[in-house]
Protein backbone atom coordinates (compact mmCIF):
# COMPACT_ATOMS: atom_id res chain seq x y z
CA UNK A 1 0.00 0.00 0.00
CA UNK A 2 1.49 3.32 -0.99
CA UNK A 3 1.13 6.43 1.11
CA UNK A 4 0.58 9.92 -0.19
CA UNK A 5 1.82 13.11 1.38
CA UNK A 6 0.87 16.64 0.45
CA UNK A 7 2.69 19.94 0.56
CA UNK A 8 0.02 22.60 0.51
CA UNK A 9 -0.34 26.34 0.48
CA UNK A 10 -3.25 28.18 2.02
CA UNK A 11 -4.14 31.83 1.58
CA UNK A 12 -6.39 34.27 3.34
CA UNK A 13 -8.69 36.63 1.46
CA UNK A 14 -5.98 39.27 1.81
CA UNK A 15 -3.45 36.74 0.44
CA UNK A 16 -1.46 35.99 3.57
CA UNK A 17 0.22 32.65 2.91
CA UNK A 18 0.86 29.47 4.89
CA UNK A 19 2.73 26.35 3.73
CA UNK A 20 2.35 22.97 5.40
CA UNK A 21 2.66 19.21 4.93
CA UNK A 22 0.12 16.47 5.70
CA UNK A 23 -0.88 12.94 4.82
CA UNK A 24 -4.60 13.80 4.58
CA UNK A 25 -5.17 17.02 2.69
CA UNK A 26 -8.96 17.10 2.90
CA UNK A 27 -8.95 16.60 6.67
CA UNK A 28 -6.18 19.15 7.21
CA UNK A 29 -7.96 21.79 5.14
CA UNK A 30 -11.13 21.12 7.18
CA UNK A 31 -9.13 21.65 10.38
CA UNK A 32 -7.83 24.98 9.10
CA UNK A 33 -11.30 26.09 7.96
CA UNK A 34 -12.80 25.27 11.34
CA UNK A 35 -10.01 27.02 13.25
CA UNK A 36 -9.01 23.79 14.99
CA UNK A 37 -5.32 24.46 14.40
CA UNK A 38 -4.39 27.31 16.72
CA UNK A 39 -1.86 29.91 15.72
CA UNK A 40 -1.10 31.84 12.57
CA UNK A 41 -3.72 30.30 10.27
CA UNK A 42 -6.55 30.67 12.79
CA UNK A 43 -5.54 34.21 13.78
CA UNK A 44 -5.43 35.47 10.18
CA UNK A 45 -8.17 33.17 8.77
CA UNK A 46 -5.85 31.49 6.33
CA UNK A 47 -7.94 28.62 5.02
CA UNK A 48 -8.26 28.78 1.23
CA UNK A 49 -6.31 26.00 -0.52
CA UNK A 50 -4.47 27.63 -3.44
CA UNK A 51 -1.73 25.11 -4.23
CA UNK A 52 -0.71 21.56 -3.39
CA UNK A 53 1.77 18.93 -4.51
CA UNK A 54 1.64 15.16 -3.99
CA UNK A 55 4.56 12.99 -2.87
CA UNK A 56 5.01 9.29 -2.21
CA UNK A 57 7.84 9.81 0.31
CA UNK A 58 7.40 11.89 3.46
CA UNK A 59 11.06 12.92 3.40
CA UNK A 60 10.65 14.47 -0.05
CA UNK A 61 7.46 16.22 1.05
CA UNK A 62 9.13 17.71 4.12
CA UNK A 63 12.13 18.80 2.05
CA UNK A 64 9.81 20.52 -0.44
CA UNK A 65 7.88 22.22 2.36
CA UNK A 66 11.13 23.60 3.78
CA UNK A 67 12.25 24.70 0.32
CA UNK A 68 9.03 26.63 -0.31
CA UNK A 69 9.07 28.18 3.16
CA UNK A 70 12.58 29.49 2.50
CA UNK A 71 11.48 31.27 -0.69
CA UNK A 72 10.71 34.95 -0.93
CA UNK A 73 7.04 35.81 -1.16
CA UNK A 74 7.14 36.65 -4.87
CA UNK A 75 8.49 33.21 -5.70
CA UNK A 76 5.67 31.55 -3.70
CA UNK A 77 3.16 33.76 -5.51
CA UNK A 78 4.70 32.69 -8.83
CA UNK A 79 4.28 29.03 -7.85
CA UNK A 80 0.61 29.55 -7.02
CA UNK A 81 -0.17 31.61 -10.10
CA UNK A 82 1.60 29.16 -12.43
CA UNK A 83 -1.38 26.78 -12.13
CA UNK A 84 -3.95 28.86 -10.25
CA UNK A 85 -3.72 32.40 -11.66
CA UNK A 86 -6.91 33.61 -9.98
CA UNK A 87 -6.13 32.07 -6.57
CA UNK A 88 -9.24 29.89 -6.76
CA UNK A 89 -9.96 27.89 -3.60
CA UNK A 90 -9.10 24.38 -4.80
CA UNK A 91 -11.02 22.82 -1.89
CA UNK A 92 -14.23 24.83 -2.30
CA UNK A 93 -16.15 21.85 -3.68
CA UNK A 94 -15.11 19.69 -0.74
CA UNK A 95 -17.00 21.91 1.71
CA UNK A 96 -20.22 23.23 0.16
CA UNK A 97 -21.86 26.20 1.88
CA UNK A 98 -24.46 25.20 4.41
CA UNK A 99 -22.77 21.90 5.21
CA UNK A 100 -22.28 21.20 8.90
CA UNK A 101 -18.82 21.99 10.20
CA UNK A 102 -17.85 18.43 11.05
CA UNK A 103 -19.03 16.80 7.82
CA UNK A 104 -16.47 16.23 5.13
CA UNK A 105 -17.52 15.29 1.64
CA UNK A 106 -15.67 13.72 -1.20
CA UNK A 107 -15.47 15.36 -4.56
CA UNK A 108 -14.84 13.93 -8.02
CA UNK A 109 -11.44 15.63 -8.01
CA UNK A 110 -9.83 14.63 -4.74
CA UNK A 111 -6.11 15.27 -4.33
CA UNK A 112 -5.42 11.63 -5.13
CA UNK A 113 -7.03 12.16 -8.55
CA UNK A 114 -4.52 14.91 -9.36
CA UNK A 115 -1.37 12.83 -9.01
CA UNK A 116 1.40 14.50 -10.92
CA UNK A 117 4.73 13.09 -11.98
CA UNK A 118 7.01 15.07 -9.71
CA UNK A 119 10.14 13.33 -10.98
CA UNK A 120 10.10 15.41 -14.14
CA UNK A 121 9.92 18.58 -12.04
CA UNK A 122 12.99 17.82 -9.94
CA UNK A 123 14.95 20.78 -11.28
CA UNK A 124 13.89 24.08 -9.74
CA UNK A 125 11.29 25.25 -12.28
CA UNK A 126 11.06 28.76 -10.93
CA UNK A 127 12.32 31.77 -12.80
CA UNK A 128 15.21 33.78 -11.40
CA UNK A 129 14.07 36.45 -8.95
CA UNK A 130 13.83 39.29 -9.37
CA UNK A 131 13.33 39.02 -13.13
CA UNK A 132 16.01 40.87 -15.05
CA UNK A 133 14.97 43.80 -17.17
CA UNK A 134 16.18 43.93 -20.76
CA UNK A 135 18.22 47.05 -20.00
CA UNK A 136 20.03 45.51 -16.99
CA UNK A 137 23.56 44.37 -17.48
CA UNK A 138 24.11 46.31 -20.71
CA UNK A 139 26.84 48.91 -20.82
CA UNK A 140 25.65 52.21 -22.19
CA UNK A 141 29.00 53.28 -23.57
Residues 16-63 have pLDDT tens digits of 999 999 999 999 999 999 999 999 999 999 999 999 999 999 999 999
Give the model's pLDDT for residue 108: 40
Q: Report if residue 133 sits inside a domain.
A: no
Q: Report if residue 128 sits inside a domain.
A: no
Q: Report if residue 131 sits inside a domain.
A: no
Specify the CATH number for the domain of residue 64: 3.40.1440.10
Q: Any idea which of 24-33, 77-86, 123-132 has the lowest mean pLDDT?
A: 123-132
Confidence class of residue 109 from pLDDT cuts 50, 70 and 90? low
User: How many Å apart are CA 113 and CA 110, to the nearest integer?
Assistant: 5
| Residue of 9, 6, 32 lying closest to 80 (CA atoms) | 9
Residue 130: asked if its preceding bond is cis (omega within 30°), the reply is yes
pTM of the entire predicted model: 0.71
Q: Report if residue 127 sits inside a domain.
A: no
| Better-predicted residue by pLDDT, 50 or 97 | 50
| Better-predicted residue by pLDDT, 125 or 63 | 63
Percent residues over pLDDT 90 in the chain:
65
Amino acid sequence: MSHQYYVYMLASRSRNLYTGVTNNLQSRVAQHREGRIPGFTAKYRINRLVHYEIFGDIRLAIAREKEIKAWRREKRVWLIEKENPFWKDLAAEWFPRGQSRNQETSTPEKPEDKIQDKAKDKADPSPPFPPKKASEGLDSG
